[in-house]
Amino acid sequence: MGTPLPRDPIADAQRNWERHGWGDVAAPMAAITAIMRTQQILLARIETVLKPFGLTFARYELLALLSFARSGALPMNKASALLQVHPTSVTNAVDRLEKAALVVRSPHPTDGRTTLIELTADGRTLAKKATAALNAEVFGKSGFGDDDVDHLIRVLGTFRRDAGDFTEE
Amino acid sequence: MGTPLPRDPIADAQRNWERHGWGDVAAPMAAITAIMRTQQILLARIETVLKPFGLTFARYELLALLSFARSGALPMNKASALLQVHPTSVTNAVDRLEKAALVVRSPHPTDGRTTLIELTADGRTLAKKATAALNAEVFGKSGFGDDDVDHLIRVLGTFRRDAGDFTEE
DNA sequence: GCAATATACTAGGACATCCAAGGGTTTGGA
DNA sequence: TCCAAACCCTTGGATGTCCTAGTATATTGC
């Protein structure tokens, strides 16, 4: 996107907030903005690694999810719930994965409304390769210290639970 | 997107990673995935608050940035750099803000290549109102504890610096 | 048993993001 | 001085996300 800025734009924003009398929410604003930007950076790294495999993160996530399912198949609505994205996003991803012969749609044996997404042999192979690449290039080089990783998992886990993502734990 | 899941899908993914022999990167994977999901939740909250103002987060960010500029105007490339998004994204946002009469494009006085984005009176008013709403509804109710906010700012700040977002500090 | 309600997926549309490419403007080195 | 390289913005295209509706299938309740 360009050259590094001389100063942290988010820290600047936080100062601006304080300067305008919003000091009480300046810090959370900065933290939230930092999360948004960090996500953007991470997503870009991930997409870069996946590009050679012809995958995007959305499609990879679906592939990875299927590869962990016992039978290598899941109903679309199940996938939507587990990936926590809108059903139409899953439809979109499946359309493209199916076109690439990485998954197949098949009717649910007992429920006529439901469509199963099944991993093909190619899909399973590609998922493995892509996972290895992501592990090596992104997750293995996250840049976060071990303590910070633990902290992030804990804090964001609480946040997600409070936001209604899940109940238990 | 729906009802809460019985279990944390990211914790499940982490267990799957460990089960498949990728224990060394399972934790960072979980932390990164949690950041992605948290961003999604926060963005949804923000967009919900901004919708009544006819704004999206991208447009709000631009408006807020302009409202902090001395003259209420910035060159497009400056805005692109500070918001850390692609120039075309700024073009897109300005197109829509201009259509809503919240900003105006004007030629740069000395550099014929550059276009200035100027806040209109309406734009400045709306920015103030939208900021008040976000402060009250999102940043003021982030759900993060003060210590966690500080930790996030610090850890993500280091991450962003290492990623090349900025140099100093 | 049948109508009303709920659920599952898809089609179409609005937005945002990025990349690649094109046209205009400046700058800088030969 | 002058042309090539650098820079700025926009257009067009690919993706992804969500929402709203519409169609088809199940389930419920009377």
**CA B8/CA A11 separation, integer angstroms:** 32
What pLDDT shows up at residue A169? 63
What pLDDT shows up at residue A4? 87
pLDDT at B169 over 70: no
Residues of chain A contacting residue B140, judged by C-beta atoms under 8 Å apart = 24-25, 28
What pLDDT shows up at residue B168? 75
Confidence of residue A2 (pLDDT cuts 50, 70, 90): confident
DSSP state at residue B65 = H
What pLDDT shows up at residue A1? 65
**CA A71/CA B77 separation, integer angstroms:** 51
- Residue A96 beta carbon within 7 A of nucleic strand D: yes
> How far away is chain B from the Cα of A110, in angstroms, using its nearest Cα?
23
Q: What are the E-state strand segments in chain B?
A: 73-75, 103-107, 115-119
Closest to A65 (Cα-Cα) out of A46, A93, A44, A96: A93
Task: Looking at A69-145, list the stretches that DSSP marks H as alpha helix, in order from N- to C-terminal side.
Answer: 76-83, 87-99, 121-137
Confidence of residue A42 (pLDDT cuts 50, 70, 90): very high
B53-88 pLDDT, tens digit per residue, is: 999 999 999 999 999 999 999 999 999 999 999 999
Cα A100 to the chain's mean position, in Å?
21
DSSP state at residue A45 = H
Task: Looking at chain A, list the stretches that DSSP marks H as alpha helix, in order from N- to C-terminal side.
Answer: 9-19, 23-50, 57-68, 76-83, 87-99, 121-137, 146-162
**CA B29/CA B14 separation, integer angstroms:** 7
pTM: 0.95
A68-85 pLDDT, tens digit per residue, is: 999 999 999 999 999 999
Cβ distance A152 to B153 under 8 Å?
Answer: no
C-alpha distance from residue A12 to each of A15, A29, B33, B103 (Å): 5, 12, 27, 22
B128-159 pLDDT, tens digit per residue, is: 999 999 999 999 999 999 999 999 999 999 99
C1' of D17 to CA of B110 (Å): 40
Cβ distance A102 to A119 under 8 Å?
Answer: yes
pLDDT at A121 over 80: yes
- Which bases along strand D come within 7 Å of a protein CB atom? 7-13, 15-20, 24-27
